Amino acid sequence: MLHRLTLAAALALSVPAHLLAQDAPAEAPAASAEAIAVEGPVTLDTVLARVGETEITMGHVIAAQIEAPEPYNQMPLAQIAAPLLQQLVQQEELRQQFEGEMAKATGLLMDNTERKLIATDAMLQHLNEVISDERIQAEYDAMYPADAEGPTEYNASHILVETEEEAKALIEQLEGGEDFAKLARDKSTGPSGPNGGQLGWFTPDKMVAPFSAALVEMEAGDISAPVQTQFGWHVIKLNETRERKPALEEVREQIVAELQQSESTAYLDELAANSDASMADMGSIDLSQQSVMPLYQELQE
């Protein structure tokens, strides 16, 4: 008598076998008795396969890619669509052969998956309602008032070397009139060396702490004492500073993320406050390995 597949083994079947080797070429589905002609622009409802009366669409294929593990969910659709379609056809063929009672684990997984997906849709629906363009603009205006100065930005150059002695020698050369950009091109081990050590405009939080701490104490035109970071020893030149309020589009993603976080928390708190849900005290239940192992075993049967 064959043993029933474990839950883990059954779930492994969701990944097409020919995709398990990352370098394997995408394979086309086996030829069917009747090919489906696809004409015109492809939409989510475009039918790509039929198994009996069941249709499998482009939407099903794209959804399958979205939930596929890495790296398959990052591949171009043109590379992975054919094997995914074959997987969906095979799954439908197997589904239509199924008779009898659904495994307990299958029903519970379907319950949890449906709950999670619909809950996600519900949260996205709420966020789309409360986070409008007007709300984003208002948040931006509150963060950056029209009469307020923006964060200080720094334009600096640096020369990176391996030892403090090398850094001190460079400072002596600079004090003697040597050109900073030329020394950077000749001596710096950092990626900015070929560009004369130029780092462009940035805010201090974009640099490692010792570098930023030295920079904010400098005046335009200053050359720093040797500064040590995990990358080596730096000689820094502060070229100039400016106060600049970022444009909305530069910080829009940050504002949206913060609104999503705050609004998600507030919405969940609101639902909890008005909920009729009741829950067991999990701390009062025996969840020891000895107690719950038979439940895991039952779920696998």
Residue pLDDT, tens place only, 17-74: 455 444 444 444 454 457 888 988 999 999 999 999 999 999 999 999 999 999 999 9
Instruction: Share the mean pLDDT of the chain.
Output: 88
Inter-residue contact 12 to 87 (CB < 8 Å): no
User: To 10 degrees, what angle do helices 248-273 and 133-143 make?
Assistant: 110
Token duo for residue 178: 């040597």
pLDDT of residue 2: 35
Given a contact cutoff of 8 angstroms between Cβ atoms, the answer to whether 185 and 193 are in contact is yes
Would you state the pLDDT for residue 29?
A: 47
Look at phi and psi of residue 55 and say left if phi exceeds 0, alpha if psi is from -120 to 50, else beta.
Answer: beta
> Does 180 have pLDDT greater than 50?
yes
Phi-psi region of 151 (alpha: psi -120 to 50; beta: other; left: phi over 0): beta
Is the per-residue pLDDT at 10 higher than 50? no
Instruction: Calculate the dihedral angle through the C-alpha atoms of 60, 65, 68, 70, rounding to the nearest 10 degrees.
Output: 180
Top-tier CATH class for 152-243: alpha beta
Taking the CB of residue 119, how many other CB atoms lie within 10 A of it? 10
3-state secondary structure of 159: strand
- What's the pLDDT band for 150 if we cut at 50, 70, 90? confident
Query: pLDDT class for 114, splitting at 50, 70, 90?
Result: very high
Q: Please tell me the predicted confidence (pLDDT) of residue 14.
A: 53
- List residues bridging with 55 in a β-sheet: 50
Cis status of the peptide bond prior to 194, with omega within 30 of 0: no
Q: Which of 124-138, 221-235, 243-257 has the lowest mean pLDDT?
A: 243-257
pLDDT at res. 155: 96
The rounded distance, in Å, linking the Cα atoms of 137 and 141 is: 6
